[in-house]
Chains A and B, each alone.
Chain A
Amino acid sequence: MLAAAVIALLVAMALTLVRAFVGPRLYNRLLAINVFGTKTVLFISVVGVLSGRPYIFDIALLYALVNFVSTIAVLRLTHLDELLPSSDEGTAR
Chain B
Amino acid sequence: MSLSLLIDIASGALLLAGCLLVVSGAVGLLRLPDFYTRTHAGSLTDAAGATLLLLGLLLQADGWQSGVRLVLIMLFLLVTSPTAAHALAQAARRDGERLPAGDDEGRR
Contacts and interface: CB of A to CB of B under 8 A. Distances in A.
Contacts of A61: 69, 72-73, 76
Interface string B35-75: 10011001100100110011011001111011001101100
Interface string B6-42: 0000011001101110110111011000010011001
A41 B20 CA distance: 17
A7 B78 CA distance: 23
B80 A32 contact: no
Interface in A32-77: 32, 34-35, 38-39, 41-42, 45-46, 48-49, 54, 57-58, 60-61, 64-65, 67-68, 71-72, 75
A79 B70 CA distance: 34
**Which of under 10, 10 to 19, 20 to 34, or 35 or more describes the interface residues of B?**
35 or more
18 contacts: A1-B15, A8-B19, A8-B20, A9-B22, A12-B23, A15-B27, A16-B29, A27-B97, A31-B43, A35-B42, A35-B46, A41-B73, A46-B53, A48-B66, A54-B61, A57-B70, A61-B72, A64-B80
